[in-house]
Structure 1
Amino acid sequence: MKTITVENIVRKFSLEVLTGHDQLHRVLKQSKVRRPGLEFMDKFDFIAIEHVQILGKNEINYLHTLTEEECKLRIGNIVQYDPPCIVITSNQEEPLGLIHYCVTENIPVLRTSDSTSEISAKLDAYVVKAMAEEIAIHGVCVNVSGIGILLRGKSGVGKSETAHTLIGRGHRLVADDIVVLKKLSPQTLLGSHNEKNKEFLALRSIGLLNVVRLYGRAAFQEETRIALDIELTKWEHNALNNDLELETKFTEYMGVQIPHIQIQLQPGRDVAGLIEAAANNWYLKQQGYSAAEEFVKRLEQEFDNCNSN
């Protein structure tokens, strides 16, 4: 897991540092920000610790109604749960005693022009991604019609060439050779590049290509949610290649299960077209439609009609 500091979010979101310039090394340990509510009360049983605390208009307006001593008491209720920093939204004026108290307790106080909802969403999304469990695998990641696909297979099987064909059809490259997978939730896997291979595609006999320089910005995407795991393999003459496969197969990455499809390669096969078909078919399944299930139902209906006659 990567370490995120207060300085990282200051730079990322251009936050104004009101106090605590020498405390920006403090580490964020929780992936969700909080707005104080019960923290302003004198008695409460449990509050989650070590969260970035956001002071929006409601909180600031409330603190402005208090005396300096009362404000110090309420802020103390927040500070005792060790927030890495406190963020004031909407460029509001800091309440009485806040700066002095936070200087004493070594808590950085930051300010932003964003609204509470805006900065909360930005911080949550950034921190969740940055703190996510991740692995790097050999493969190619592409986005086909808005659907993230992981292409795997042995070296030289044609993954990069297939990605190049898909780019020519209007789809997008995410990463070639090394794909970074991040687990955002038990159901969500994000595919991205490792910065060094950003925008690059390596083709045998051709060399290294920068797809953005060659084909424009639309040829590349920073990241994509992985929906399909497609393995490219050599053709097996004795394998059953036309089964209905009513039961979905899966590949597991960091505990997240991704639907798995194997495509066997043979001269003349339109592999890019098959991947497009797989992506579109996956989309239809998400809408509740399965061609295989409909086909089986037609067979069963015909069978029932024959038996009834």
Structure 2
Amino acid sequence: MANSVTVKELTEASALKVFSGEEFLNKEITSTEIHRPGVELTGYFNFYPSWRIQLMGQTEVSFLARMSTEERLIIMRRLCQTETPCFIVARRIEPPIELVKACQEAGIPLLQAQSKTTRVSSNVTNLLESRLAERISMHGVLVDVHGIGVMIVGDSGVGKSETALELIQKGHRLVADDRIDLYQHDEDTLMGEAPAILRHLIEIRGIGIMDVMTLFGAGAVKQSNAVNLIVNLELWAKEKKYERLGSDETLETILNVPVPKITVPVKTGRNLAIIVEMAAMNYRAKSMGYNASETFERNLENLIKENTRKEL
């Protein structure tokens, strides 16, 4: 399910000032892409994406300054379509009077930004991609462990929240407990965050709901985080074989993003927090090019070759 974003929500979540059209801030933004009208200023409107946010910078405003008042008004009225969510003028540039008039006529909010045009484009795009992306919810706990986003999943009562609580006591940060809202940030990145009602909260059976930020401080929580690794906690089954070397990597695809997944058997006496912490550190080592299982297999192969030569 994709979320919707209004122009008002965009202004509240970013450093954008409403220059005119405050009464039109309820207009919805449907595209994550931003358009800088360039060729349209010359009169070419064959492929004008009017449904996108329109962003103007120094280049566009300087070009408009060369036109007559009548020419500017004609172009501005063609730019201002009813489906256009808003116009943004960057670098604290004073918007042309003709743009203000055309926006007012078409019922379009006109916003002003302080930053340079490319930065405004980047910031607004990132915000829209996170707000408009398709989202799903999964049961589990998301913790930032040494900068690695570890999503702990498993059956109810297996010890996910208790493991997360011990990790928090060790200095790691909670992102979400019980329910994680997931969305795709880009082709390779899956992001997770807590629903607003559950933010900073963790539930421990027998104690109840606790506010982690109140108990441990602001440094113990995080608003959102990439999901780099999935740790599945599973009750120990004697008949099941578990991975011993770590050479077989399992991937779980969520919203078209493949995420490495490991299964950790839960058994009395096992310190799950330390195991999760080591799993995160091992993931980071692999991402930096070091794989302990490959090193072991290579050493074993060399040992076998050496013993074979001795026998010969």
Q: CA deviation at 1:18?
A: 2.8
1:11-160 equivalence runs, <5 A? 11-13=12-14, 15-43=16-44, 45-76=46-77, 78-79=79-80, 82-160=83-161
Distance 1:298 1:72, change over 3 A: same
The residue number in structure 2 matching 1:198 is 199
Q: CA deviation at 1:23?
A: 2.1
Partner Cα distance (2:22, 2:167) in 1: 49
The residue number in structure 2 matching 1:219 is 220
Q: CA deviation at 1:172?
A: 0.5
- Cα-Cα RMSD: 2.0
CA contact (8 A) 1:231 1:261 kept: yes
SS of aligned partner of 2:197: coil
Query: Partner amino acid for 2:29?
Result: L
Q: Percent identity?
A: 30
Query: Partner amino acid for 1:6?
Result: V
Partner Cα distance (2:260, 2:241) in 1: 19
TM-score of the superposition, structure 1-length normalised? 0.93
Partner Cα distance (2:97, 2:104) in 1: 13
The residue number in structure 2 matching 1:231 is 232
CA contact (8 A) 2:175 2:194 kept: yes
CA contact (8 A) 1:53 1:86 kept: yes
Partner Cα distance (1:179, 1:82) in 2: 34
Query: Partner amino acid for 1:216?
Result: G
Query: Partner amino acid for 2:164?
Result: A
Query: Partner amino acid for 1:62?
Result: F
The residue number in structure 2 matching 1:294 is 295
Distance 1:298 1:216, change over 3 A: same
Alpha-carbon deviations, 1:6-39, whole Å to 9, x = none? Answer: 1211222353333323322221111022222222
CA contact (8 A) 1:48 1:81 kept: no
Partner Cα distance (1:109, 1:44) in 2: 21
Query: Partner amino acid for 1:275?
Result: V
The residue number in structure 2 matching 1:210 is 211
Residue ranges of structure 1 left out of the alignment (5+ in a row): none
CA contact (8 A) 1:29 1:51 kept: yes
Query: Partner amino acid for 2:236?
Result: W
TM-score of the superposition, structure 2-length normalised? 0.92
Alpha-carbon deviations, 1:23-75, whole Å to 9, x = none? Answer: 22221111022222222232365344411111112222222222112222443
SS of aligned partner of 1:196: helix
Residue ranges of structure 2 left out of the alignment (5+ in a row): none
CA contact (8 A) 1:52 1:83 kept: yes
